[in-house]
Amino acid sequence: MLDKNGIAKRIAREVKDGMYVNLGIGIPTLVANYIPEGINVELQSENGILGMGPFPFEGEEDADLINAGKQTVTLLHGSSIFDSAMSFGMIRAQKVDLTILGAMEVSENGDIANWKIPGKMVKGMGGAMDLVASAKNIIVAMQQVNKAGESKLLSKCSLPLTGVHCIKKVVTELGVYDILPHGGFKLLERAPGISIEQIKNATAGRLIIEGDIKEMLL
């Protein structure tokens, strides 16, 4: 079973040279640590950065320079800064090649819920609704099973939706799935040491398994 870093490491393999990539908060942020050498990407932060760099060295933090998670960051050579309207303009116009974000639930028809638990957690959607509505290529990074042991890959989301029919790929601690255009989680890879049986038990939505499913390379 993969830990958070393992999920991030597997997703990093989806990142291709020359891409503009938006990383959400949580596991997606970790993906930046595993982008292979020789692959050059520009990270977009929706508060207004292209070419975001790592955290600053101690003592070099700048209150005016933060990422979408409000963490202090740095700028790489060749970076640019812009306002929020332009930032979401480039997202809406599909200039950003790849979006990686977390989720509380994903359904077999590609719906995603990740912003609200009625009566419990109401923090807001931030930029998530804009991202999922416009991005052409979204990967969801998530734990497949919640703390109560229930699957988060469902036939239908139970929480308020963030977007509909927008997710095409999910990477979890157990496996990698494509969401097919006509619905269903198609299992592509198993996490190291995970059996098909374990994956079946952890998937509440329609699971499609065709042929021999290989273990993922990390």
Active site residues per annotation:
46
- 196 part of the interface to other proteins, by CB under 8 A: no
Residue (14 or 61) nearer to other proteins, CB:
61
Report the nearest approach of other proteins to the CB of residue 48 (Å): 5
Report 87-116 residues binding other proteins (CB under 8 A).
Answer: 87-89, 91-94, 111
- 158 part of the interface to other proteins, by CB under 8 A: no
In the set 16, 55, 192, 215, which binds other proteins (CB under 8 A)?
A: 55
- 164 part of the interface to other proteins, by CB under 8 A: yes
Task: Match 């306002």 to its residue by tokens.
Answer: 83
- 180 part of the interface to other proteins, by CB under 8 A: no
- 144 part of the interface to other proteins, by CB under 8 A: no
- 198 part of the interface to other proteins, by CB under 8 A: no
Q: How far apart are CA 106 and CA 157, in angstroms?
A: 6
Q: How far apart are CA 148 and CA 72, in angstroms?
A: 34
Residue environment code for 159-195, b if the CB has 16+ CB neighbours within 10 A, otherwise e: bebbbeebbbbbbbbbbbbebeeeebbbbbbbbeebe
In the set 6, 24, 28, 48, which binds other proteins (CB under 8 A)?
A: 48
In the set 26, 160, 183, 184, which binds other proteins (CB under 8 A)?
A: 160
Report the nearest approach of other proteins to the CB of residue 41 (Å): 19
Answer positive or negative: Cα dihedral of 54, 57, 58, 62.
negative
- 127 part of the interface to other proteins, by CB under 8 A: yes
Residue environment code for 22-48, b if the CB has 16+ CB neighbours within 10 A, otherwise e: bbbebbbbbbbebbeeeeebbbbbbbb
Other beta carbons within 10 angstroms of residue 57's beta carbon come to 8
Cα end-to-end span (Å), the chain: 12
Residue (59 or 211) nearer to other proteins, CB:
59
- For other proteins, the binding residues (CB under 8 A) are 45-49, 54-67, 69-73, 75, 81-85, 87-89, 91-94, 111, 119, 122-130, 133-134, 160-165
